[in-house]
Copies of this chain bind each other. A is one copy, B any other.
Amino acid sequence: MVQFVGVSEIRRIVAQVGIDTVLTRMVDYLEADFRRWDRFERIPRLASHSPGGVIELMPTQDDALYSFKYVNGHPYNFERGLQTVVAIGLMAEVETGYPVFLSEMTILTALRTAAMSALAAKHLARPDAKTMAIIGLGAQSEFQAAAFRAVLGVETLRVYDVDSAATAKFVRNMAGRGVRVIACEEPGSAVMGADIVTTVTADKVQATILSDNMVGAGVHLNAVGGDCPGKTELQKDILSRASVFVELTEQTRIEGEIQQMPADFPVTELWQVIRGEAPGRTRRDEITLFDSVGFAVEDFAALRLLRDLATETGQYETLDLITSPADPRDLFGLIAPAAAAAAQAA
């Protein structure tokens, strides 16, 4: 039987375990898998494009487990009252090819993206960073806020969105969570005095959410929103001044902020920093930038954690997705038993 975690189960798991613990453990699982980066199969995602959006399959595997995520991206869904991104994940045993775990991944991806940002910042931001600016208060914003509070102890959030309804939603959701939220009238005032700046807007264009003169020395930039071809948030000049860290170089050159830069623009892959094989931040006044686009290994770590949490809490169902005939060659007997046929014929 295949373990199944749907929307109601993941909600119960987070309620039972607590979102801070989920995010902190997610950072641990991500860090463990980034440490063994070379053990993972890294193949390009498989994208099916249509006029309204894209559907992607993102697989990876290590020696023991295989995972893939189904994820769409449909910008016009918002106008229909639907989410622009939904996702489903599956984990299987490499040795037998049998699926063992199936789950919703819309909420899980939101948690893993925020935990991934916090993991990068743990290695790249100044250790005493306590104030974060967030530009863009959509579906991902509170997850970022919660992860940076739980993992890095960020205390103050300076936030901005073009839509005041989004700001109101953010303020409401973060009430009583141990952070001070300062709603700002423009991006320029939001970033003022911030140690970390998170950009996570939704426009599908080359926007300039941050211009060069807004970024001061020593800041860590967490660029989450620029994540597909034609969609960026940072002015090019910022990239030239910053030390840039990525997940998988060839993917980020196509999808990330550095799509604006020449093909030989120097970057460091984050797994090298986590393994101590490349320097992260080297000076207090250095500008560091995590150019986040998301990668299959992160979904693998997230599914691994959710499977463990499901088993620990007992919050899962089972699906009979896999046939198990007594004789593996007798699949036909499962759906058209011989006795029944003989009886019909009689």
Contacts and interface: CB of A to CB of B under 8 A. Distances in A.
Given A77-B328, A328-B78, A323 B83 contact: yes
A245 interface: no
Nearest to A60: B48
A146 interface: yes
Chain multiplicity (copies) = 2
A341 B176 contact: yes
A328 B48 contact: no
A322 B345 CA distance: 45
A14 B336 contact: yes
A39 interface: no
A95 B336 contact: no
B322 A104 contact: yes
Contact of A94 (B50, B68, B82, B320): B50
Interface residues of A, number: 92
A323 B176 contact: no
Contacts of A143: 331-332
A346 interface: yes
Interface string A86-102: 10101010111111000
B97 A88 contact: no
A4 interface: yes
Interface stretch (A167-175, A229-237, A287-295): A167-175
A253 to B, nearest CB: 21
A329 B110 CA distance: 12
B335 A19 contact: yes
A31 to B, nearest CB: 23
22 contacts: A7-B321, A7-B334, A15-B335, A43-B46, A50-B61, A50-B95, A53-B96, A57-B68, A68-B70, A77-B97, A83-B331, A86-B323, A88-B99, A107-B335, A140-B331, A143-B331, A169-B327, A169-B329, A169-B333, A175-B342, A177-B341, A177-B345
